[in-house]
Amino acid sequence: MRISFVKSLFPVLSVAVVFLYLSSVKWEIKTQEEKLQRVQQNLSLHSSLLLHKLDKLEAHLIAVEESRLKVKSEKKPAKKLFPDSDLFKRWSVELSEDEQRKAEDLFQKYGYNAFLSDRLPLDRELPDTRDHRCAEREYPPDLPTVSVVLIYLDEALSVIQRAVYSIINRTPAHLLKEIILVDDHSTNEDLQTQLHVYISSINEKHPGLVKMVTHAEQKGLSQARISGWKAASGDVVAILDAHIEVHVKWAEPLLARIQADRTLVLSPVFDKINYDDLEVTKYFASAHGFDWALWCMYVTFPKKWYNRNDPSLPGKSPSVMGILVVDRLFFGEIGTLDEGMQVYGGENVELGIRVWLCGGSIEVVPCSKIAHIERAHKPYMPDLSNVMKRNALRVAEVWMDEYKKNVYMAWGLPLENHGIDIGDLSERKKLRERLNCKPFKWYLENVYTELNPMDDLLGYGALINDLQTSLCLDKGPSEENTPILYPCHFLTSQVFFYTTSGEILVGPLQPLLHSRNRCLADPGSGRFPEFSWCSDTEKPKHMYWDFKQGQAIQNRDTKRCLEISPKQTGDYKNNVFVQECRNQHWRIQHVIKDL
């Protein structure tokens, strides 16, 4: 009975339970809705507060920026501390006074803008300045390997790093045997520490790629290059300055030429890296020559090169300017470089002459380009003239035969007893004999045909009047072209050249056959002589003079004489005349042939 009653309650209880459950759920939903509404209200409130704060922050930032701009506009630019410095003449950037001082100090130390270099990417891109035909040219895969030698003395660290980066990034890995850094006894601290860390980091990625050669004392450019050559193991050695950046595909054109002819000594074409803004200026291909003082200069290629009408082709060159690429073994066979040279200058001219006279040849390769920093000054030796003079005399005595007089003439030295110690020449003379080299006259007639042989000189040097032996004839202010009498200093403006034809040329003498030089002339009227272009044929310039040592200088056409006032006022202007001869006597400093 009870059981039946309980069973009868099940439907009722089930409905009640369901009802209670639904009521509970409904209450829970309502509760959650109320909570959600409160959360939404709170979120809305917080959002409003946050937006308000952001509006205030934005207004504050705008006010700060406006204030900063106002201060900046009212702030005076930093004072230009070095307005006459070569560094700041073109490079116009806003630097603080401290930055200007640092930039100028580094500029004086290195001769280029090391301040800017330290802030440029080490792997910067270079403009492709090659002829379009170079990019289209293909090279065989089995080219010789190359060891790249970088020479430096107290170079800026970032400049060396950039050079190394460019070589690694722009030389095919299978061709790049090694990079050899030759330190000619630098004293910069960062080159003793940070550079070694940098090299170690490279060698971790490229084991053994970068090597160091360090001199215990400064030995000079020739010795440093020889040290790099001795350390090299590649088929070809490229000896470069450390203040360079190589262009894309720089190595392949050089290696292909040496593969075709191992007796070639090659030079790439240099683009100029400006010393101030470090931007690259395109240079066109030219041959490398020199004057009779053996200073380097650009000259034209032989006519045959221009007739081919393809500026991407290699051209023959009388000399090489210092960056050179050569078969490593051939370089040793012809005597490398003259180790008797000091510091800088002349060693490249000596190499150029020797290569041509002793069985090789020199080419400039336009499809190979290297960007090279042209320093504003050479900090390691501000005045190179003394060492250059000494080195030039070594070249003259070993290689130039009867034409060595022209080197003495260019430096204003006597042909004998010049008093300069040029070192021992015996080994270099033995080398010339062993290699069975040609005479220098052959070089002038077949290679450097533009160079004036100066066969017609009778005398050179200062012209001094017996009435005033402490004063010399002088070119005077260049814009006036009027000779003056001036205290003797024996530099180029006081160096004259008397020729067999009777011309009196004034220095600096241009060395090439068709150069424009100035000659002393009697204008034919008036009291004062003048300097006219020797090649001027448009009207008679009365440029020919009769002169015997210790006698008068008389014009052949006008019969007037070059004379001075017996009493000089110290004005040094209008103190040299052409007038009726009064038996004044002149002497020229050095006599080549009897006058």
**What is the reported pLDDT for 378?**
84
Name residue, tokens 């270079």: 126
Q: Are the CB atoms for 355 and 265 separated by under 8 Å?
A: yes
Helix (H, G, I), strand (E, B) or coil at 46: helix
**What is the reported pLDDT for 48?**
59
Please give the average pLDDT of every successive group of 10 residues along the chain, which has 595 residues. Answer: 48 52 62 65 58 60 57 64 92 91 96 97 96 95 98 97 98 98 94 94 96 95 95 98 98 99 98 97 96 95 96 97 95 96 90 98 98 90 80 97 95 90 96 98 98 94 95 88 93 93 91 90 92 74 93 96 85 87 96 84
Terminal-residue alpha carbon distance, the chain? 166
Rounded to whole angstroms, the Cα distance separating 140 from 171 reads: 14
Rounded to whole angstroms, the Cα distance separating 107 from 349 reads: 29
**What is the reported pLDDT for 477?**
86
Q: Furthest-apart CA pair in the chain: how many Å?
A: 173
Q: Are the CB atoms for 241 and 150 separated by under 8 Å?
A: yes
Rounded to whole angstroms, the Cα distance separating 174 from 140 reads: 13
- The token pair at 28 is 């829970």
**Nearest by Cα to 354 from 324, 318, 393, 302:** 318
Q: Are the CB atoms for 560 and 580 separated by under 8 Å?
A: yes
C-alpha distances (whole Å) from 189 to each of 156, 185, 192, 329, 495 are 11, 12, 5, 36, 45
- The token pair at 304 is 């045959």
Which residues on adjacent β-strands are paired with residue 363?
266, 316
Q: Are the CB atoms for 472 and 381 separated by under 8 Å?
A: no
**What is the reported pLDDT for 560?**
97
**What is the reported pLDDT for 16?**
53
Torsion of CA 469, 470, 475, 476, to 10 degrees: -130
Rounded to whole angstroms, the Cα distance separating 354 from 362 reads: 10
Residue 152: count other Cβ atoms within 10 Å of its Cβ.
Answer: 21
Peptide bond into 508 cis (omega under 30): yes
Rounded to whole angstroms, the Cα distance separating 565 from 505 reads: 23
